[in-house]
Amino acid sequence: MTAPRGEILFEIGEYRVRRLSEEDAPMLRELGERCLDHIELHYGSPPDPSQLIPDLLSDLPPGKTLADKFGMGVFDGAGRLVGGIDVIRDYPEPREWYLGLLVLDPGHRNHGLGAGLMNALTQWLRLREAAYLRLAVSEHNAAGQRFWTRLGFQPVKQVIAEFGNKQSVFHVLRRALETR
């Protein structure tokens, strides 16, 4: 299934990133089916591939609205959805954005795409006067912890959170966007 037309937010090589909508739900479900390892890591088992749909389209922290949410799809040169990015504006503080999700199809991992997307996202956030980017990574996600540390994220605190049927310790990380 390929991407319907929509405004491109930013690009990296052949990849295009655009905001997602409810009409993208079938593609999100397919991406979820290809990314069951990610879903199981965060939500426990059995993984539900449709979990990516609310993550990218509607899940919000307290006090935020859909106007603050940017659920984005990463599309390859053929228009296939191969990744998802979710950021929330001004959360938990003004000028600080929260990265709720970065997920890539397994066939598109470990080739520099994640780091490239984060560089492009950082530029996009700077244009929106963001000063910081914050995220949380599960203690069970050692590869994710290495990835975020390599990109300059620093530990802020640890929290215990429950997703699906799994309770985990999450490392909250933060990076200034002006200095990288």
Half-sphere exposure of 52 toward its Cβ, with a 13 Å CA cutoff?
32
- Whether 145 is covered by a domain: the verdict is no
**For residue range 9-53, what is the model confidence (pLDDT) as tens digits?**
999 999 999 999 999 999 998 998 898 887 777 666 666 667 767
The CATH number linked to 47 is: 3.40.630.30
Q: Tokens standing for 179?
A: 């200095």
- Whether 150 is covered by a domain: the verdict is no
Q: Percent of the chain beyond pLDDT 70?
A: 89
- What is the domain count for the chain? 1
- Whether 30 is covered by a domain: the verdict is yes
- Whether 22 is covered by a domain: the verdict is yes
Q: Is the pLDDT of residue 112 over 90?
A: yes
- Whether 144 is covered by a domain: the verdict is no
Q: Is the pLDDT of residue 99 over 50?
A: yes
| Cβ-contact 68, 100 below 8 angstroms | no
CA distance 100 to 82: 17
What residue numbers bound the domain in which 15 lies?
8-132
pLDDT at 141: 87
User: At CA 131, angle to CA 126 and CA 137, rounded to 5?
Assistant: 100
Q: Is the pLDDT of residue 113 over 50?
A: yes
Q: Is the pLDDT of residue 119 over 80?
A: yes
CA distance 77 to 64: 33
Q: Percent of the chain beyond pLDDT 90?
A: 68
| Cβ-contact 10, 18 below 8 angstroms | no
Q: Which residue has the higher pLDDT, 29 or 96?
A: 96
- Whether 142 is covered by a domain: the verdict is no
Strand order across the 15-19 sheet: 8-12, 15-19, 69-75, 81-88, 96-104, 132-138, 166-176, 154-163
Q: Which residue has the higher pLDDT, 120 or 59?
A: 120
- Whether 38 is covered by a domain: the verdict is yes
- Whether 101 is covered by a domain: the verdict is yes
Rounded CA Rg of the chain:
15
> Could you tell me the pLDDT band of residue 4, with boundaries at 50, 70 and 90?
very low
